[in-house]
């Protein structure tokens, strides 16, 4: 009688181990899904930041152009007030050099804004990839826990069967 109770106990223990492993697997998968949602949100934030940085870069260029035009106009006015002809000679060279430098500065501002924007876009891509990797890891853990639970159940059934066999071998001797 005690051996039969032991065999049933082994099977119950195996079922419980399997249920526990399945629950752990489900929790691992749910955690991975939750983390993926966070990563997806972070990716969207990075994409929005990238778009915003692009717009800010355009505004920076526009503001620089306004400041530069005002500075050039002031310089031209000063040349004229001092009686210097700004359309030739050194004053013209100074104004042209300033215009060339301004053009380079606008390019630099644009390149920096695009570089920043691309870096933010890449951050978004990285977040998505990390989220997808986390999902795969969560699913792999879920499968591993399920296998572990199945192995525990099969092991307990095998142990219970062995106990039953031993009982059957002892029973004829008792007759």
How confident is residue 170, by pLDDT bands cut at 50, 70 and 90?
Answer: confident
Answer for the pair 14, 152: CB distance below 8 angstroms, yes or no. yes
| Cβ atoms within 10 Å, residue 174 | 5
> Which pair of tokens denotes residue 84?
């210097």
Q: Looking at the 3D structure of the chain, how many domains does it have?
A: 1
| Cα 79 to Cα 100: distance, rounded to the nearest angstrom | 19
Q: Domain range holding 10?
A: 2-174
Contact residues for 121 (Cβ-Cβ < 8 A; gap 6+)? 46, 47, 50
**pLDDT for the residue 145:** 94
**pLDDT for the residue 173:** 58
Contact residues for 134 (Cβ-Cβ < 8 A; gap 6+)? 32, 35, 36, 39
Tens digits of residue pLDDT in 60-83: 999 999 999 999 899 888 888 888
How confident is residue 90, by pLDDT bands cut at 50, 70 and 90?
Answer: confident
């Amino acid at each position: 009688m005690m051996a039969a109770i032991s065999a049933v106990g082994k099977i119950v223990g195996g079922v419980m181990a399997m249920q526990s492993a399945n629950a752990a697997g489900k929790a691992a998968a749910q955690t991975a899904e939750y983390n993926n949602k966070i990563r997806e949100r972070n990716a969207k934030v990075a994409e929005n930041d990238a778009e915003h940085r692009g717009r800010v870069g355009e505004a920076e260029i526009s503001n620089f152009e306004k400041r530069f035009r005002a500075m050039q106009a002031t310089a031209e006015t000063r040349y004229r007030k001092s009686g210097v002809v700004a359309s030739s000679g050194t004053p013209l060279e100074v104004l042209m050099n300033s215009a060339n430098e301004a053009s380079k500065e606008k390019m630099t501002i644009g390149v920096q804004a695009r570089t920043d924007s691309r870096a933010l876009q890449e951050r978004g891509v990285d977040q998505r990839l990390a989220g997808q990797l986390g999902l795969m890891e969560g699913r792999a853990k879920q499968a591993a826990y399920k296998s572990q639970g199945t192995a525990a159940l099969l092991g307990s059934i095998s142990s219970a069967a062995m106990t039953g066999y031993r009982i059957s071998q002892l029973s004829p001797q008792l007759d």
